[in-house]
Amino acid sequence: MSVRIDVLTIFPDYLAPLGLSLVGKAREAGILDLHVHDLRNWTTDRHRTVDDTPFGGGAGMVMRADVWGTALDEILTPDAHLLLPTPSGQVFAQPTAHALAAETHLVVACGRYEGIDARVAEHYRAAGVRVSELSLGDYVLNGGEVAALVVVEAVARLLPGVVGNPESLVEESHGEAGLLEYPVFTKPPTWRGLDVPDVLLSGHHARIARWRRDEALRRTAARRPDMLEALDPAALDARDREV
Ligand code: 6GU
């Protein structure tokens, strides 16, 4: 069971960190088959042009559909899911990471400048390719490369065998509980006058679990009231409601 991911970009060096850390190890272990391609390899002119001025006028440049089409025709396979990072996409979140981790082939097409000619998404959708336009959040970046890093890391760590202890995936922020994670502590028990909460040193597993749940609820209420609103009321017990 391995996932193939192809990333197309005019800045392949931007993706160099994907050789490091857990993602790098997943690649070495054959769990993740990642390929980064230079879009300019599919240009045909002397200047290796990938962009042009926008029809209708306006600032900036638009990436050409013909260059992207030649590249994607070669890279896409029948089971591929095409991901187009763009600030006008749907916000990428953990449920999408889980869904993508169950795929066999992801192709990430990184736009730059003002974006990719809109006919690229339209053409591949009409051809039956699953196309998802994804945003990282409500701010503007210079291109899709950082989003490609984010998607590859978020997906790779969900592949079986990448994160050493699968339990690390269970109690994390944006996990199944729909809450932010509780605060964590390690040695020393006192640091600069600050003590680790007594309950965590008590060895009393039920009390520790209750304390962590309370902290997760308090944090989520303070920082992300939208997440608390979205919780299924049936997921809250009587004690939760007191917090
Ligand atoms: Cl995916 N791309 C760009 N260019 N800007 C963004 C983004 C993506 N997500 C948030 N801002």
221-238 average pLDDT score: 91
Sign of CA dihedral 153, 215, 194, 202: negative
pLDDT digits (tens, 9 = 90+) for 79-91: 999 999 999 999 9
pTM, whole model, 2 decimals?
0.94
Which neighbouring-strand residues pair with 132? 83
89 CA to centre of ligand 1 in angstroms:
8
Phi, psi (5° rounding) for residue 99?
Answer: -65, -40
How much of the chain exceeds pLDDT 70, in percent? 99
Residues of the chain with CATH 1.10.1270.20: 170-242
Q: 29 phi and psi, to 5 degrees?
A: -80, -5
pLDDT in the model for residue 176: 76
Question: Where does 80-204 have alpha helices with state H?
Answer: 94-101, 119-126, 145-156
Q: HEC states along 18-47? A: HHCHHHHHHHHCCCEEEEEEEHHHHCCCCC
Amino acid in the structure at residue 214: D
Instruction: Confirm if 50 and 10 have CB atoms less than 8 A apart.
Output: yes
Residue 1 pLDDT class (50, 70, 90 cuts): low
> What is the chain's mean pLDDT, rounded?
94
Using only C-alpha atoms, the chain has a radius of gyration, in whole angstroms, of: 22
Other C-beta atoms closer than 10 Å to the C-beta of 187 total 7
Predicted local confidence at residue 240, as pLDDT? 86
Question: What are the backbone angles phi and psi of residue 56, rounded to the nearest 5°?
Answer: 90, -10
What CATH number should be reported for the domain whose range is 170-242? Answer: 1.10.1270.20
pLDDT one-digit tens code per residue, 20-67 = 889 999 999 999 999 999 999 999 999 999 999 999 999 999 999 999
Q: Does the beta carbon of 115 sit less than 6 angstroms from any atom of ligand 1?
A: no
Alpha helices in 144-204 (DSSP H): 145-156
Amino acid identity, residue 111? G
* Residue 221: both structure tokens together: 């209420």
Q: Does domain 3-156 have CATH number 3.50.50.60?
A: no
Looking at residue 17, what DSSP letter applies?
A: G
With cut-offs at 50, 70 and 90, classify the pLDDT of residue 234.
Answer: confident
Q: How sure is the predictor about 208, in pLDDT bands with cuts at 50, 70 and 90?
A: very high
Q: Average of pLDDT values for 109-119?
A: 94
Summarised one tens digit per residue, pLDDT across range 143-189 is 999 999 999 999 999 998 887 777 777 767 887 789 999 999 999 99
The dihedral over CA atoms of 102, 107, 113, 117, expressed in degrees to the nearest 10, equals -110
Q: What pLDDT is attached to residue 97?
A: 97
Provide the token pair at 189.
């028990």
Q: Which pLDDT belongs to residue 30?
A: 93
The three state secondary structure string of 60-81 is CCEECHHHHHHHHHHHCCCCEE
Q: Can you give the pLDDT at residue 163?
A: 77
* Pairing mode of beta strands 32-38, 3-9: parallel
Looking at residues 198-223, what average pLDDT do you find? Answer: 97
Q: Is the pLDDT of residue 241 over 90?
A: no
| Residue 115 annotated as lining a ligand binding site | no
> Is the CB–ligand 1 distance for residue 101 below 6 Å?
no
C-beta of 55 in contact with ligand 1 (< 6 A) = no
Residue whose CB lies within 8 A of the most ligand 1 atoms, among 83, 135, 145, for a mutation test: 135
- Where in the chain are all domains bearing CATH 3.40.1280.10? 3-156
Question: Could you report the predicted ipTM of this complex, rounded to two decimals?
Answer: 0.98
Measured in Å, residue 213 CA sits from the centre of ligand 1 at 33
Ligand 1 closest atom vs CA 138: 10
